[in-house]
Chain A
């Protein structure tokens, strides 16, 4: 196992599992916490993450495929997204705003898909979204985009029968994959959804200090796809003002 990074809560290793390249995310004990509290939190987050990684996929949100949950060792074995996959944070720091705009729109869409199905991520930051390069095969003539290998093969078969020549071109596209669901939970409450967005807003403004516009793109796309736009928007305003209005005594 090769240790590739260590966050505040877990160590990330790269290895293989049943012949597939995988990532092992292993949560470790925090010595500053009381042992009872510590094990309660680690187990809770492990289980929540495992559940949400699978749940999110049902709502068309890409997450790493979960292969195994090891409660005893506090670890999750999941799909390795590949060495060329970077965080959205890294991507934003290394690309122009224009290039990033479609991804930011997609990000807003993804969050709304989760919220529309009452899944709250709980820790939305640009470090918890990965940008993965995928190869799309496209038929040159009719511009139909097909991602699925099987479908491509089928099309080729059909065209072969028609005895027509078809040209396939490969395009590199970027897709977003959500990770880090340790703090996630389910809720129908618009308050929780707006707090989820508020956490992201603050993460944006503190990581990329001059990028209010970036967050606005995400938010606009979110509300375009939200099934409860009005309530969540109102709530978000209230949550934002709480910070400003708080009586700061002492």
Chain B
């Protein structure tokens, strides 16, 4: 079975072509990068996706050396995500489904990240830390679902780092988080105290942003610290919270391997810290690389195959998109306990 996967829930447009066994035949991505000091809004993001999607699909076929006749399935991101961008991609998926008369299936974005992680790293049942611009969850598989053990009470980690970058006018190209990470490497000489809020297995990040806005920017003005120090401090603080939450979940579920997925998972410091914690528990962290951590079409295609094979495909009327689609709403029919 060969599947074409289309992803566009946020500012990354992804087109992937994947085989049943997980072999990636093509995986192209076009990212919408807003100007410095701005975030990406639904309207511009949807425009961006509409502008590039057909061209990118053609390029993907070229890269995979395939044509529409070779496809068995089309998969698209049903949700969660931003409304307009999701819709702009779904429209194309529906069109191709009708044009080429190929079955279609809608996929949960979060589950796709998890399944991509599992197949790439070859792990069966790790604890999953899913951290991106829009999501921050600690997930473990239990009784037919990917259950959320801990999550953010307010904003996601990636969102927090993106907004922090905006406050400090850090560039958005290639991504704000990446630039924060590079600056942090040069700011290790001073750690600024920031709020640390863990509640059971959940955590809160909004206090950190307010603290940066009030205290951090002032300190910067008075030259009591540098931008690099702030980048370093926010990472050390936020990541420590994520590691703590993950460790609690690992102790609770009695799992020793942990998988980090989602855009923030590309951060080397986060991977390093998780690795130190996992090692102390005689476990390991299964790292991902940026081809799969960041939103992409291949993960949608692969998960589409899993869904189609263990269940059914969608009728046209079912091919909706939805902004809110919890990870634990999906029946993971392709995994047996």
Chain A residues with CB under 8 A of B191: 34, 36-37
Interface pair A32/B274, CB less than 8 Å apart = yes
Does B332 make an interface contact (CB < 8 A)?
A: no
Does B38 make an interface contact (CB < 8 A)?
A: no
Does B183 make an interface contact (CB < 8 A)?
A: no
Chain B residues with CB under 8 A of A196: 199
B206: min CB distance to chain A, Å: 12
Chain B residues with CB under 8 A of A202: 149-150, 200-202
- Report the bound CA distance from A106 to B69 in whole Å: 65
Interface pair B134/A249, CB less than 8 Å apart = yes
- Report the bound CA distance from A122 to B201 in whole Å: 10
Given contacts A7-B251, A32-B277, A209-B143, contact A124 B324 (CB under 8 A): no
Interface pair B153/A242, CB less than 8 Å apart = yes
Q: Return the chain A residue nearest B248 by Cβ.
A: A8
Does A58 make an interface contact (CB < 8 A)?
A: no
- Report the bound CA distance from A116 to B324 in whole Å: 36
Interface pair A247/B134, CB less than 8 Å apart = yes
Interface pair A249/B9, CB less than 8 Å apart = yes
Interface pair A41/B196, CB less than 8 Å apart = yes
- Report the bound CA distance from A59 to B214 in whole Å: 38
Q: Which of B79, B133, B147, B250 contacts A206 (CB 8 A)?
A: B147
Interface pair B276/A34, CB less than 8 Å apart = no
Q: Number of residues in A with C-beta < 8 Å to the partner?
A: 37
- Report the bound CA distance from A242 to B199 in whole Å: 15
Q: Chain B, 138-160, contact with A by CB distance < 8 Å: what is the 0/1 string?
A: 00101100011111010010110
Q: Which of A169-211 contact B (CB under 8 A)?
A: 183, 195-196, 198-200, 202-203, 206-207, 209
14 contacts between A and B (CB under 8 A): A30-B244, A31-B277, A32-B274, A123-B200, A124-B200, A183-B199, A200-B200, A202-B202, A206-B148, A207-B252, A247-B323, A248-B326, A249-B133, A249-B134
Complex A-B, nearest 7 residue pairs according to Cβ-Cβ distance, in ascending order: A249-B134, A250-B133, A199-B200, A250-B134, A248-B80, A250-B10, A32-B276
Task: Give the interface of A toward B (CB within 8 A).
Answer: 7-8, 30-34, 36-37, 40-41, 122-125, 127, 183, 195-196, 198-200, 202-203, 206-207, 209, 239, 242-250
Task: Give the interface of B toward A (CB within 8 A).
Answer: 9-11, 79-82, 109-110, 132-135, 140, 142-143, 147-151, 153, 156, 158-159, 191, 193, 196, 198-202, 236-237, 240, 243-244, 247-248, 250-252, 262-263, 272-274, 276-277, 280, 295, 323-326
